[in-house]
Amino acid sequence: MKIAFIGLGNMGAPMAANLIKAGHDVTGFDTQARPDGMILADSAAAAAEDAEVVITMLPNGAILRSVAGEVHPAMRKGAVHLDCSTVDVESARFVAQAAEEAGLSAIDAPVSGGIGGATNGTLTFMAGGPQAAFDTCKPLFDIMGQKVVHCGPAGNGQAAKICNNMILGVTMIATCEAFNLADRLGLDRQAMFDVVSTSSGSSWSMNAYCPAPGVGPQSPADNGYKPGFAADLMLKDLTLAQAAAKAADADTPLGEAARALYDQFVNREDGAGQDFSAMLPRFSARSRG
């Protein structure tokens, strides 16, 4: 398949590399690294010419809208714009409408799995958009990831991502609070893990991504909280979730509390550049007051 890939940063570059390894013809633009076998274009529009699928992996909705405005006129009729960025639902739906008006189709398919998942081809994709466009992209999802869920019409991929990560942000905070309380009560962290990971308090934050070093499977906590998923990115996703909640008039008090705490951690404490599970040493260093 002839593919354009725009936005080749920490996530996009390894995703594109896996497509090249699978035999696809990939032209790239906006790159920090050049995967072997990739052709580089001088502009996003030039990369998109004649592509069957144009993949974007971009930082935010404003940039996505701008890039879509550049590439849609250059794409051939019937091509698919596959956006794997994590952006606001409104931008995803705006781009889908713009694609339809240009004789194209669009899929919003944000990812879960981080840089490791992008490198290893084990990402999970949450996709929104028309069935025919999803079917066109399905072989590419199968190369870049291990699971894809078609969540419904345009914007629903983004909706699934922010709902999932709102749960993740809240549960990680609760897990870190509980470990800190266990420490203060004299409960051994390993004992805490052994009980909670097999009891009603179990969660992905505890079982697969334990924030306590030396406890449970290997996680960023065992590597000085070097980011697997940065606190900055958790703040971004929680902020997107609250923007969506406001637009939908949905009451999400724990989601807002998590957003506010990650905002404090990243912007007014030392959380910037740390993994989102570094909330544990943050709580450990503080008293109740």
- Percent of the chain's residues with pLDDT above 70: 100
269 within 8 A of 282, measured Cβ to Cβ: yes
Query: What is the value of pTM for the model shown?
Result: 0.92
Euclidean distance between CA atoms 128 and 147, whole angstroms: 14
The CA-to-CA distance between both ends of the chain, in Å, stands at 59
Q: How far apart are CA 255 and CA 167, in angstroms?
A: 8
Q: What is the pLDDT of residues 65-111, one digit of tens each?
A: 999 999 999 999 999 999 999 999 999 999 999 999 999 999 999 99
Closest by CA to 150, choosing from 125, 114, 175, 186, is: 125
- The structural domains of the chain, ordered by start, are 2-153 (3.40.50.720), 159-285 (1.10.1040.10)
| Predicted pLDDT of residue 30 | 83
Hunting for tokens 């406890």 — which residue is that?
Answer: 215
| Average confidence score pLDDT of the chain | 96
| Catalytic pick among 161, 226, 236, 246 | 161
Joined together, the tokens standing for residue 254 give 């724990």
- Look up 161 and say whether it is catalytic: yes
